[in-house]
Amino acid sequence: EAGVVQSPRYKIIEKKQPVAFWCNPISGHNTLYWYRQNLGQGPELLIRYENEEAVDDSQLPKDRFSAERLKGVDSTLKIQPAELGDSAVYLCASSRGQTTNYGYTFGSGTRLTVV
Amino acid sequence: RKEVEQDPGPFNVPEGATVAFNCTYSNSASQSFFWYRQDCRKEPKLLMSVYSSGNEDGRFTAQLNRASQYISLLIRDSKLSDSATYLCVVNPFSGGYNKLIFGAGTRLAVHP
């Protein structure tokens, strides 16, 4: 089975510019997560989707971050405008079902550098 | 206090050594527990789940102590390829939803 696919792999932008990340989850996985990982830290949840519904976005900085998951499959995470502190790796993950007792699968991430 | 705490290391050990990592979590209602492995500049990958009775997968043994809110990972006969960051992960399962909380990771370096 194909894994979680993310693009782009790397992105370098100037501060105040917009940026978008794309994620295609594993087929049949209705739960999708966006995490952010800063250097030397573990991943931190930004937003979780159950199908097309965002069920937990409490950690998403809503003044500049937005996300969508149209049709409950692919998802896009956007930052506008980007700040220097947004430099991090943005990881997408997916899992099957709401109540799974298993860990989930991450994509290879997008490494964002804001200069 | 962080929800999941780990010693950041690094743990520098020779090949063949036995090494143990510990982790504590703050939410006593947490339902499931995992260890993930993360290689440099790669995504985290599930290493193993952690069960209340303890579980073993080859050279790796995971233990859970719910009373002390403590999780451990033991690696026997370390290999050079075990060099990585090991992330302790807890699922508080709040509101009926799966949500993994990651520790900051413990770095392991195995040398010849």
C-alpha to C-alpha distance for A35 and B58, rounded to whole angstroms:
30
Would you tell me which residues 62-81 of chain A have a C-beta closer than 8 angstroms to some C-beta of chain B? none
- What is the pLDDT at residue A71? 86
One digit per residue, the tens of pLDDT, for chain B of length 112 reads: 789 999 999 999 999 999 999 999 999 988 889 999 999 999 999 999 998 888 999 999 999 999 999 999 999 999 999 999 999 999 887 666 778 899 999 999 999 9
Nearest by CB to B87, which of A42, A45, A97?
A42
Helices (H), B2-111: none
Interface test with B, best of A23, A35, A51, A106 (most B CBs within 10 A): A106
- What is the pLDDT at residue A100? 54
- What is the pLDDT at residue A97? 66
- What is the pLDDT at residue B99? 81
Residue in the structure block whose two tokens are 């159950």:
A50
Residue in the structure block whose two tokens are 């026997």:
B76
Residue contact A104–B98, C-beta within 8 A: yes
Interface test with A, best of B46, B91, B98 (most A CBs within 10 A): B98
Nearest by CB to B96, which of A99, A103, A111?
A99
> Mean pLDDT, to the nearest integer, of A20-34?
94
- What is the pLDDT at residue A103? 72
- The answer to whether A100 faces chain B, any CB pair under 8 Å, is yes
Residue type, position B86, single letter: Y
Task: Give the number of other Cβ atoms within 10 Å of residue B17's Cβ.
Answer: 15
- Closest-CA residue in chain A for B47? A103
- Closest-CA residue in chain B for A108? B43
Residue contact B31–A45, C-beta within 8 A: no
Report DSSP letters for chain A, one per residue: ----EEE-SEEEE-TT--EEEEEEPPTT--EEEEEEE-TTS--EEEEEEETTEEEE-TTS-TTTEEEE-GGGS-EEEEESS--GGG-EEEEEEEESSSS--S--EE---EEEEE-
A99: pLDDT strictly greater than 80: no
- What is the pLDDT at residue A60? 94
Residue contact A42–B98, C-beta within 8 A: no
Residue contact A99–B46, C-beta within 8 A: no
- What is the pLDDT at residue A1? 65
Residue contact A106–B45, C-beta within 8 A: yes
> Mean pLDDT, to the nearest integer, of A50-75?
92
Q: How far is A56 from chain B (nearest CA, A)?
A: 9
